Structure 1
């Protein structure tokens, strides 16, 4: 199950993502917002990120105007690896190498068609282990304040 959230700048993009998920029969929960009326993106980033971090959802998708602010907010939640994606290669590599658990996109910089492509790639790309496991362990150490370099 996927956790979805957006602010007003990402509302139209998340609607396109929801249509794609509906067509594919993929379950999701929409944490809002539900219109283009101005709201504060950290509220929705926090709702989705905490739901993913506590294991209620495997992945999250967040959208704001650029994807940047909402990703910064989501990454403040321990256990979250939220990545802003602007191309197909990034959508693949953020899963394959970084094991990202939240996809972030910008409604003012990403077309609805591209958002659906990036979502499909993100949800269907497996994590790669090997050399990436050590790097992910280091990210966890940074998050816990224990990285010793």
Structure 2
């Protein structure tokens, strides 16, 4: 296992139960977790949760994050609107691992209505255990950063 580092977690009401399970799982792996909500099944605007997690990562308060909604799509789209953030939706361990190794993703987004709890735990474990392979993918990620910084024109 990597040296434990801070992990942010957040969800909307559709992801609440899975988020609670994943929070315990991540803590059980030895990582400190900060929960950005939601803290109940009451409806929330998931972009606000994604923004809070992404902002904490950009500020250096958290190293990586996990977002859970119904499909994982809306959370990933929302988090990716934050300058400097790379959020990846993954519903298998290979994609979660590659999100870190190839794309230096800081946020994993998963869908509670798409996968079960045991698979979700495996996906999160794979994401947290993986490190960016800068020698192989650094130029590609830098190009992504340049597009974000300079636009695509």
TM range (shorter): over 0.9
Structure 2 residue 111 is the aligned partner of structure 1 residue 93: no
Q: Distance in 1 between matches of 2:70 and 2:18?
A: 10
Residue 25 of structure 1 and its aligned partner are, at CA, apart by 2.6
Gaps of 5+ in 1: none
Separation (CA, whole Å) in 2 of partners of 1:66 and 1:103: 12
Q: What is the SS of the residue equivalent to 1:51?
A: helix
Cα distance in 1 for residues equivalent to 2:151 and 2:38:
36
Match of 1:136 among 117, 141, 148: 141
Q: Which runs of 5+ in 2 are unaligned?
A: 1-5
Q: Partners of 2:77 and 2:152 in 1: how far apart?
A: 21
1:1-149 to 2 correspondence within 5 Å?
Answer: 1-146=6-151
- What's the secondary structure of 1:126's corresponding residue? coil
Query: Structure 1 stretch 23-32 or stretch 94-103: which is displaced more?
Result: 23-32
Q: CA deviation at 1:146?
A: 4.9
- Whole-Å separation in 1 of the counterparts to 2:144 and 2:71: 24
TM-score for the superposition, normalised by structure 2: 0.92
Q: How many residues align?
A: 148
